[in-house]
Amino acid sequence: MAIVLRSGSESPGPRPGTGGPAFSAQASDGKTYSLPDLLSRGPVVLYFIKADCPVNADAVGHYNKIAQAYEGGKGTFLGVIDGDESVYREWQRRFKAPFPVLYDPELRIIGMYGAERSPWIVALDKDGKVALTQKGFSEKELEELSRHVARAFGAPVAEISFRGAPEVPRFG
């Protein structure tokens, strides 16, 4: 059974090479983040989270490792969760994400970025253009994301084990 993050039949978000939709939202660290402010500091990776998705539960540890490996680089890694602060707190209690997570209970950001499944990644370059989109996760996609984040954040590629990740992409 598929777990849909957004509803409606609109086309799925921005395509590679096009600008990412602007947003502003409160995050788990108490700050409000806007896309223009984030881009002024460098590239942005958005990790879209369906709080109760079992596939996301399998994937989150891998994304945590990527975020930790490139922490302090010239970019920002952010989660976007389909809920408010209470949904986030319960999710965070289980998964201990090392990055801020934006609250999106009305699925506004999720819808603008076409995040139909979980997990879903959209990486924006320093100019705000979509550089990479990943629908679901697999060992190959995690390795690709790690290389992309290293390049975009101006860091050497980290040695990260994605042991346990599926061979073919999975999403909920």
CATH number for the domain spanning 98: value is 3.40.30.10
Cα–Cα distance measured from residue 121 to residue 123, given in angstroms and rounded to the nearest whole number: 6
Query: Is residue 83 assigned to a domain?
Result: yes
Query: Is residue 171 assigned to a domain?
Result: no
pLDDT in tens, 132-142: 999 999 999 99
Query: Is residue 72 assigned to a domain?
Result: yes
Domain total of the chain? 1
Cα–Cα distance measured from residue 43 to residue 45, given in angstroms and rounded to the nearest whole number: 7
Which residues are within 8 A (CB) of 92 and not within 5 positions of it... i.e. 6 or more apart?
28, 101
Average pLDDT, the chain: 93
Query: Is residue 15 assigned to a domain?
Result: no
Query: Is residue 102 assigned to a domain?
Result: yes
Q: Quote the pLDDT of residue 170.
A: 94
Query: Is residue 132 assigned to a domain?
Result: yes
pLDDT in tens, 9-64: 444 778 899 999 999 999 999 999 999 999 999 999 999 999 999 999 999 999 99
Between CA 6 and CA 12, with CA 10 as vertex, the angle to 5 degrees is 70
**Residue 125's domain spans which residues?**
24-153
Q: Quote the pLDDT of residue 14.
A: 86
Cα–Cα distance measured from residue 61 to residue 74, given in angstroms and rounded to the nearest whole number: 22
CB 139 within 8 A of CB 152: no
Query: Is residue 135 assigned to a domain?
Result: yes
CA 77 to chain centre: 7
Is 50 exceeded by the pLDDT of residue 88? yes
Q: How confident is the model at residue 169 (pLDDT cuts 50, 70, 90)?
A: very high
Query: Is residue 69 assigned to a domain?
Result: yes
pTM greater than the 0.95 cutoff: no
Q: Residue written as tokens 């891998």? A: 62
